[in-house]
Amino acid sequence: MAVRRLLLASATLLLTAGLVTTGLSAPAQAASGQVSSPSATLYKNCFSHPFRYALSGVGVGWTLTVDLVSSGGRRVDRAVVPQSAGASGTGAFRLCAGSVRPGGYTVQSRVTWPAETGRAPLALPTTRLTLVRPRSKTALSLSTRRPKLRKHLRVRATSRVARPYGFFPTSGVRVKAQVRHKGRWRTLGKARATNADGTATWRVRWRYATPKKVRVVTLRSVYQSSSTSRVVIVRSKRPKAKG
């Protein structure tokens, strides 16, 4: 047994000496890495959306390129991370709701080296994220719940849209007023855009003798999801009987 250990040690020593003499070295560690980005809400204003990366075995002279790609294959944004940023850390995409649509996206990344190194580009595993519209909240107010038949009723919608720090009134949001009649929601007047205070108002002639449900709706757009107010029952005020 002692003789076997001596022979193995001698063989290892000779092999090491041979590698040093011929200038060869042990194979380098295989490069690998991962890039991920969380799902997010597409707020109306442009904003930076983070991603996190971690690389190993990449050596020196590397560059990390990260693309955000839509489900249709369109590149939405590209971020480039140099070696000077370190082998792990964070970066960011630049997103604007007006040009980026809600839906599923992929993060496609690759590591490249200068041509003189002879290293081929390394494609990292693809990851996914979802971009969603901001939520909205809609409120209804009426001038009265007991309008006289064929008299005017004022209906007001207030729409608030989510921002990073809460819900705020927003101008230019399309809203509509509806009444439930014959089993369907029917529009009261035309759809309107909210004012700077987030409100829109209709003045409609009430023509329903029986009680009707009324509501207001914020319509969906690239800048917000749809939402519906609470339902209010409106009853016509019956005229007083003549004595």
Over the stretch 189-229, which tens digit does the pLDDT of each residue have? 899 999 999 999 999 999 999 999 999 999 999 889 999 99
Residue 48 has pLDDT above 50, yes or no: yes
pLDDT for 242? 62
Segment 139-150, tens digit of pLDDT = 999 999 999 999
- Residue holding tokens 């040009």? 99
CATH number reported for the structural domain that contains residue 63 in this entry: 2.60.40.2550
Token digits for 50? 């983070």
Residues 49 and 120 in one domain: yes
> Could you give the number of structural domains in the chain?
2
Token digits for 144? 């009265």
What is the mean predicted confidence (pLDDT) over 157-182? 95
pLDDT for 39? 95
Residue 6 has pLDDT above 80, yes or no: no
pLDDT above 90 as % of the chain: 75
Residue 10, domain member (yes or no)? no
| Residue 51 lies in domain | 31-132
Q: How far apart are CA 76 and CA 61, in angstroms?
A: 27
CATH number reported for the structural domain that contains residue 196 in this entry: 2.60.40.10
pLDDT tier at 136, thresholds 50, 70, 90: very high
Residues 229 and 143 in one domain: yes
Q: How far apart are CA 14 and CA 6, in angstroms?
A: 12
Residue 23, domain member (yes or no)? no
Q: Can you say whether the dihedral through the CA atoms of 189, 160, 46, 109 is positive or negative?
A: negative
Residues 203 and 142 in one domain: yes
Helices marked H in the chain: 2-22
Residues 72 and 110 in one domain: yes
**Final residue in a domain of this structure, among 110, 132, 154:** 132
Contact between residue 199 and residue 238 where contact means Cβ atoms under 8 Å apart: no
Residue 209, domain member (yes or no)? yes
Residues 161 and 222 in one domain: yes
